[in-house]
Amino acid sequence: MKRPYSAIDSKVRRTIVRNSGLRSADEYVYPGKGDSKRQMCFYRILSKMHKESGRTILPVVIPDSGGKWRLDIGSTKMAETQGVIRKLKNAPTGVVETVELVPSRLAELGID
């Protein structure tokens, strides 16, 4: 069986060291001017995750054969700012555990 999210580009994912993976919504910072190529790569990853899972609610932390990794914080906040994901919300645990994708926004950006 194919492992979900198996070939995610390492430029926009971060390996978790101890408990460094989860943050509260107010700890996500908009990086200002970002690398548009890197951000588009991030959007393609979100699209791939959406297609592989069939869901619009996507995890922030993803287990992998090499451990766990999380979505890049700056890219995630930029995605929120650009309307690709809905407003970040803390789970009952006090940290962001999932993001909600807006597939129509990806389509507007030419990402299928």
**What pLDDT sits at residue 71?**
86
Asked if 12 and 73 touch (Cβ cutoff 8 Å), the reply is no
The structure tokens listed for 8 are: 């995610």
**What pLDDT sits at residue 1?**
35
Asked if 13 and 72 touch (Cβ cutoff 8 Å), the reply is yes
Ordered per-residue pLDDT tens for the chain, 112 residues: 344 454 455 555 555 445 556 788 988 887 666 668 888 888 998 998 899 899 999 999 877 666 677 888 888 999 999 999 999 999 999 999 999 999 999 999 898 7
**What pLDDT sits at residue 108?**
92
Alpha carbon distances (Å) from 11 to 14, 20, 42, 54, 105: 8, 17, 8, 24, 22
Question: How many residues are recorded in the chain?
Answer: 112
Q: Would you list the domain boundaries of the chain?
A: 10-108
d(CA 6, CA 99): 19
